[in-house]
Chains A and B, each alone.
Chain A
Amino acid sequence: QVQLQESGPGLVKPSQTLSLTCTVSGGSIGSGSYYWSWVRQPAGQGLEWIGHIYHSGSPTYNPSLQSRITISIDTSRNRFSLNLTSLTAADTAMYFCARVRFGQGLDHWGQGTLVTVSS
Chain B
Amino acid sequence: DIQLTQSPSFLSASVGDRVTITCRASQGIRSYLAWYQQKPGKAPKLLIYLASTLESGVPPRFSGSGSGTVFTLTITNLQPEDFATYYCQQPYNYPLTFGGGTKVEIK
What residues of chain A have their CB less than 8 Å away from a CB belonging to chain B? 37, 46-49, 52, 60-64, 96, 98, 100-107, 109-112
Contact = CB atoms under 8 A, between A and B. Distances in A.
B43 A110 contact: yes
Given A47-B87, A96-B43, A110-B43, A103 B97 contact: no
A100 to B, nearest CB: 8
Given A46-B98, A105-B34, A111 B43 contact: yes
- Interface SS majority for chain B: loop
B97 A49 contact: yes
Interface of B: 1, 32, 34, 36, 42-46, 49-50, 55, 87, 89, 91-92, 94-101
Contacts of A47: 44, 87, 89, 98, 101
Given A46-B99, A49-B97, A52-B96, 11 more contacts: A37-B96, A47-B101, A49-B95, A61-B95, A63-B1, A103-B92, A104-B34, A105-B91, A106-B89, A109-B43, A111-B42
B41 to A, nearest CB: 8
Given A96-B43, A109-B43, A60 B87 contact: no
B3 to A, nearest CB: 12
